[in-house]
A and B are shown apart, each in its own frame.
Chain A
């Protein structure tokens, strides 16, 4: 317990040391103040953006696109993964296609989708879906295939229907793997939505950050990157927190 407290303290010290060194380097002129404004100045700008509520628009825009795409990807990945895991015929049908599309760097598809779907929310959502669906799908599939056959046999012994077996036996057993896939998809989806916004240049966090850099509003740019980092961090923390409560049986298989 004391050890953990000490670890926390040291961690805060590490972060404080980096910020302090940065501030000092800015004040003494070791760092170019135009390119890297001092953290205190960035902090002021950040506070201004936060307190004026300015952040709600772009943040909401990005998060909405992300959440829609991510939700669709999870749904699609889990359903398809369960079906492929359950039915050898469907597995044989879809596996080669999945293996064909999976190694594609999804970022390379962004310009192709712009051409095809035009620049707009539909494209952004598609991009996120493409990025997040494969980790979910693959993990679901492996989760289903890795199920202890005894569990399935037991369900059969009790004459559980297929649907009931799926919902009460297969899904909980595969849940840790599915969530691990969703965790990977979360990071990938966020990366792709930011990239797509940067390339499409209309609105959202990604567009804003690139635009601020191009118009040389450096402080604002750093402030928005900090906001983005906070969003990414909170999403990951939120996920891990939910994960712990959803599958307390993780690692005890």
Chain B
């Protein structure tokens, strides 16, 4: 998971770009609903099929509750707190780890991008650690940190740290030389150049890194909670699997999907507000 840091950024940016252009060029005024009517119908049909297969007993399985039961379980879980409390605790740990990991990642990324020698020295160490899939880091960390909040916050911080760092560094390295030379012409000091020239020019890259990181952070929170469960939504999902309460489990998965989607949307909104020069590099 850590390996795939710079790529989604590229893909994401290119994707949005391509979407914008292709929409503008190919289908100027076709309403959104019109082009997707068949697709929405397909989703509806699948849901109906799900409901019918469970209700009419086409699928004879303990683990195949009808869709309406999942919705009911989600509603129950939210009103009595069985689902909303683990969600909130997961989100709290995720945000704590995310904040720590991203601030460190951006700081170290600026440092590595700004100084060649430090980069040569530190980057290979990072390259050795990077290919380890995140779940494999959890067991040794359990030895040090136990299975409570500290572990999850640390793992999330570690997972967010890497994309934040890599993207920040790439952003710094990609800063237009003319900008730097202009700053030098005006005899701007190093700190001032970093803060007033390099940082704003790097912000779009940093933002992409932070967005990759927020997606990762949610996944990693859930993964850590599943492997070293003591609380949270990941633990809840595994518990419901063991308890043979598939409706509650699917409800949790559903709620997680919504959370992931919302986080991504919020991030994009914030990005557009805070960095209006994004994508105009």
Contact = CB atoms under 8 A, between A and B. Distances in A.
A18 B264 CA distance: 36
Nearest to B139: A213
A222 B140 contact: yes
A230 B131 CA distance: 7
A112 B10 CA distance: 32
Contact of A188 (B4, B42, B249): B4
Given A111-B241, A142-B14, A187-B2, A105 B222 contact: yes
Given A142-B14, A146-B14, A186-B4, A107 B131 contact: no
A13 B121 contact: yes
B40 to A, nearest CB: 5
B218 interface: yes
Q: Is the interface of A mostly helix, strand, loop or mixed?
A: helix
A104 B35 contact: no
Contacts of B35: 88, 91-92
A107 B218 CA distance: 10
Nearest to A105: B219
A18 B43 contact: no
Contacts of B136: 194, 205-206, 209, 225, 228
Nearest to B34: A92
A146 B14 CA distance: 9
Contacts of A105: 218-219, 222, 256-257, 260
A191 B216 CA distance: 11
Interface string B157-181: 0000000000000000000000000
Contacts of B63: 112, 115-116
Contacts, number: 204
B1 to A, nearest CB: 4
B270 interface: no
Contacts of A225: 132, 136-137, 140
B125 interface: yes
Contacts of B124: 11-12, 14-15
B226 interface: yes
A73 to B, nearest CB: 14
Contact of B133 (A115, A146, A190): A190
Contacts of B18: 142, 145-146
A95 interface: yes
Contacts of B186: none
A75 interface: no
Contacts of B14: 142, 146, 177
A184 B8 contact: yes
B39 interface: yes
B187 interface: no
Contacts of B226: 107, 110-111, 195, 199
B191 interface: no
A183 interface: yes
B227 A199 contact: yes
Given A14-B125, A92-B35, A225-B140, A184 B4 contact: yes
Nearest to B10: A180
Contact of B36 (A13, A96, A186, A233): A96
A177 B18 CA distance: 12
A138 interface: yes
B238 interface: yes
Interface of B: 1-4, 7-8, 10-11, 14-15, 18-19, 21-22, 35-40, 42-43, 46, 61-64, 117, 120-125, 127-137, 139-140, 142-144, 218-219, 222-223, 226-227, 233-234, 237-238, 240-241, 244, 246, 249-250, 252-253, 256-257, 260-261, 264
Given A11-B125, A194-B135, 4 more contacts: A96-B40, A107-B222, A183-B7, A191-B223
Which 5 interchain pairs have the tightest Cβ spacing?
A232-B131, A11-B124, A213-B139, A96-B39, A187-B3
Interface of A: 6-7, 10-15, 18, 35, 88-89, 91-97, 100, 103-112, 114-116, 135, 138-139, 142, 145-146, 177, 180-181, 183-184, 186-188, 190-191, 194-195, 198-199, 205-206, 209-210, 212-214, 218, 221-222, 225, 228-233, 235-236
